[in-house]
Structure 1
Amino acid sequence: MSHDAERRVADIADRLAATAADSERLGRLSDESVALIREAGVMRMLQPTEFGGRAAHPREFAEAVMAVAAHCGSAGWVCGVGGVHPWEMALMDRRLQQEVWGENQETWIASPYAAQGVATPMEGGYILRGRWNFSSGTDHCDWIFLGALVGDAEGRPAQPPRVLHVVLPRSDYTIVDDSWDVVGLCGTGSKDVVVEGAFIPDYRTIDADEVAEGERAAERAGRTETVYKLPFWAMFPLGITAAVIGIAEGALAAHLDYQRERVTAMGTKIRDDPYVLYAISEAATEIAASRTQLLDGISRLYDRVDAGEQVTFADRSIVRRNQTRCAWRAVDAVDEIFARSGGNAARRSGVLQRFWRDAHVGLQHAIHTPGSIYHSTALTSMGVEVPDGPLRKLI
């Protein structure tokens, strides 16, 4: 992490950790938590410089997300998801960027990208209808990215399917307040949103395949900075997995604090138990390996783009394979230390159980589903061309 980002997150760390219980109770980030994130500037790290952002290296962004998540999993998750949205906004029409940030450069943007709605073409744009799940941090956002299938004249998904990312102001969608009742990442407030016939001008849309490829969208948007030439399915998973790894690091720190003075019911000090100490070191190594591999993957892609080299489907698939495995490895490590923390670790008065729950819910995100990613990457590693269809999705 750069010294500036490291200092900013360190400055809020203790105060942020103190807000975690309130955010969990509220079912959304507390206002104090949001104010601290704004103070640290994490959400503007990938924002264009002309709108008060830093257009930072994605590695630096991921490190900042990890640092936040190590103190509050929900805050880290919202930073990891929401912090990527300014990156994509940089690829949109400049008129839209001005609408979003022209008056307030601190404006946050929500999502989700799953194509759970239909955008029916009409003159000058589209009419959008649908209901979307998992809009993380949405209570604190004034705009939203939504995935939508392009519809036919009857409002049904057209064939072959084509997906758009569309952008709406807060006045054009409804947040379903009672739609986030979960066992982990409670403070993310990842509620459902509903759109009932909103008009989306053409300039507030972008083709999902174009963003997925990376460089073509940057060229059309007139962006020359390397970070904006990266593929969507490298950038979006980066923030989410960084949050999961940060949560694992928070769990490890909480475990070490708890075990330092712990004595078992049999009278054994944990510091004298070689079996638990072995497990701690093994888990710590796995979490560290997850961090290293995630940062290495995005750095390699960045360096390739920065050198003017093409990023191939095989390059993208390897990064996705490793990023997916990073999350599973880190959460497996959390399970190992939690299982050795004794019954008192399950008490809600402790922080370890919250990190444990948050880690598992973070693993449930679609970008951590390994099956098709592993399948596809094994084929590309053998030099086998992966056909269009499911095996190319989310890569």
Structure 2
Amino acid sequence: MAHEVVERVEQIGPKLAALADENEKLGKLSGETVALLREAGVMRLLQPKRHGGYAAHPRDFAEAVMAVARHDGAAGWVCGVVGVHPWEIAQMDPRVGQEIWGENQDVWAASPYMPNGIADPVDGGYVLSGRWPFSSGTDHCDWVFLGALVGDGKGKPASPPAVMHVVLPRSDYEIVQDSWNVIGLSGTGSKDVVVDKAFLPAHRTVDQDEVSGGEAALRNGVEEPLYRLPFTSMFPLGITAAVIGICEGGLEAHLAAQRDRVTVIGVQVRDDPYVLSAAGEAAAEIAASRVQLIEGISALHERVAAGETPTMEDRARIRRNQVRCAWRAVSALDEIFARSGGNVIRRDNPLQRFWRDAHVGLQHMIHVPGSAYHSSTLSQMGIELPPQLRVMV
């Protein structure tokens, strides 16, 4: 049975689709799109119940992201990225959730997590400076998660390096408005953010390794299985779900166009076995990607709910499959795009936007296949992963 949020997304789907072109031209989500997403409750799926959220199964989150992306890839991407941040907020010092949602439970937080800043220790916390690209949906967010290296007190990284995730309010960072000019996922508005010597209270920080292993949740008295899943399984989930949803949308656009298409030699495409065969194969590949992604996170959730700690091999296998899901789905989309005829390149054909969005989605670091496949194979061999491979597992 579909979660009520997924059902609401399906109801507003045509409205989301109608706004997709506008979002692309704006270079960010429109106010109307944001209002629809708030109404549907997508960003509250992983939000803790004490702050008005659903604390839903991660499967429901992935399905909601796919449903949005099937109508508008950019909106789905923002849901996949911004929608996972309530999951991490739930694991932090309780003061953080109260600061963010105490007055308004619909407040959103952006990111990115790459450690592009230095957080120098001072009394009561840190002083943070840096510049971070790719802050998806940031124009509609009042807070931001950022990755930061702990400093040595002199503006340089401490040794050995230590990475934190830190949270800042909108008043402490600047959005660089002209920093997002791209060929796909334009509507995500994934602009740069800049922080210049902002004070960061210690309670708004969390060690990256503690989030990766579920220790942060337990330390703060959070016992629900949802919030003890590894960061390296949950954060990729939303992004890959968006890519799969985009490919599902592209498939739907392809089938709608081919139903009555006639080729230059007068043959109806519905009578062309080669095009139809390719579409059937692509549909199977995209469906397989959906199933494998959901199966992986569901199995991990079951293990944690049973009181077990996922092994590194478990985590590496799920990461491997998650990466492969994205590449499999986009490869399938390529096959049908190549058989969609000359008119597919026109700006008013939605398939070309899905195709561009999907390929830009593959450029995210969580979709780099080499290290994910490498890590999984080593784990299957019983070989301990070196530090540089453990980071994303």
1:284-363 alignment runs, 5 A limit: 284-363=283-362
What is aligned with 2:206? 206
C-alpha displacement of 1:2: 2.1
How many Å separate the matches in 2 of 1:29 and 1:144? 17
What is aligned with 2:128? 128
What is aligned with 1:162? 162
Task: Give the aligned residue type for 1:205.
Answer: T
What is aligned with 2:91? 91
- Runs of 4 or more above 2 Å deviation: none
What is aligned with 1:22? 22
Retained in 2: the 8 A contact 1:73–1:358?
A: yes
Question: Within the alignment, does 1:256 sit opposite 2:237 as a pair?
Answer: no
1:230-269 alignment runs, 5 A limit: 230-269=229-268
Retained in 1: the 8 A contact 2:28–2:186?
A: yes
Task: Give the aligned residue type for 2:175.
Answer: I
What is aligned with 1:185? 185
Q: Output the aligned Cα RMSD.
A: 0.7
Task: Give the aligned residue type for 1:51.
Answer: H
How many Å separate the matches in 1 of 2:327 and 2:25? 27
What is aligned with 1:42? 42
Retained in 1: the 8 A contact 2:113–2:165?
A: yes
Give the TM-score of the pair, scaled to structure 1: 0.99
> What are the Cα deviations for residues 136-173 of structure 1, in whole angstroms up to 9, with x where unaligned?
00000000000000010211011111000000000000
Retained in 1: the 8 A contact 2:259–2:269?
A: yes
How many Å separate the matches in 1 of 2:209 and 2:124? 21
Task: Give the aligned residue type for 2:55.
Answer: A
> What are the Cα deviations for residues 358-389 of structure 1, in whole angstroms up to 9, with x where unaligned?
000000000000111111110111112223x2
How many Å separate the matches in 2 of 1:323 and 1:14? 28
Retained in 1: the 8 A contact 2:282–2:333?
A: yes
Retained in 1: the 8 A contact 2:110–2:136?
A: yes
SS at match of 2:331: helix
Task: Give the aligned residue type for 1:349.
Answer: D
What is aligned with 1:118? 118
How many Å separate the matches in 2 of 1:312 and 1:198? 38
What is aligned with 1:197? 197
How many Å separate the matches in 2 of 1:340 and 1:375? 34
Identity %: 67
How many Å separate the matches in 2 of 1:149 and 1:384? 28
Question: Within the alignment, does 1:80 sit opposite 2:80 as a pair?
Answer: yes
C-alpha displacement of 1:6: 2.8
The total of aligned residue pairs comes to 393
C-alpha displacement of 1:3: 4.2
SS at match of 2:99: helix
Task: Give the aligned residue type for 2:308.
Answer: E
Retained in 2: the 8 A contact 1:372–1:390?
A: no
How many Å separate the matches in 1 of 2:8 and 2:93? 31
Retained in 1: the 8 A contact 2:333–2:355?
A: yes
C-alpha displacement of 1:312: 1.1
How many Å separate the matches in 2 of 1:3 and 1:138? 27
Once the two structures are overlaid, the 10-residue window that deviates more, 7-16 or 336-345, is: 7-16
Structure 1, gaps ≥5 residues long: none
How many Å separate the matches in 1 of 2:323 and 2:160? 29
Task: Give the aligned residue type for 1:312.
Answer: T
> What are the Cα deviations for residues 209-231 of structure 1, in whole angstroms up to 9, with x where unaligned?
000112x1111121121100100
How many Å separate the matches in 2 of 1:167 and 1:332? 37
Retained in 2: the 8 A contact 1:327–1:368?
A: yes
How many Å separate the matches in 1 of 2:12 and 2:51? 24
Retained in 2: the 8 A contact 1:46–1:87?
A: yes
How many Å separate the matches in 2 of 1:6 and 1:198? 38
Give the TM-score of the pair, scaled to structure 2: 0.99
SS at match of 2:116: strand
What is aligned with 2:383? 384
Task: Give the aligned residue type for 1:299.
Answer: S
Question: Within the alignment, does 1:281 sit opposite 2:280 as a pair?
Answer: yes
What is aligned with 1:139? 139
Task: Give the aligned residue type for 2:319.
Answer: R
How many Å separate the matches in 2 of 1:221 and 1:133? 30
Task: Give the aligned residue type for 1:202.
Answer: A
SS at match of 2:195: strand
SS at match of 2:248: helix
C-alpha displacement of 1:5: 2.4
Retained in 1: the 8 A contact 2:285–2:332?
A: yes
How many Å separate the matches in 1 of 2:390 and 2:307? 24
> What are the Cα deviations for residues 9-33 of structure 1, in whole angstroms up to 9, with x where unaligned?
1121111111101100000000000
Retained in 1: the 8 A contact 2:92–2:217?
A: no
C-alpha displacement of 1:65: 0.3
Task: Give the aligned residue type for 1:155.
Answer: G
How many Å separate the matches in 2 of 1:48 and 1:92? 12
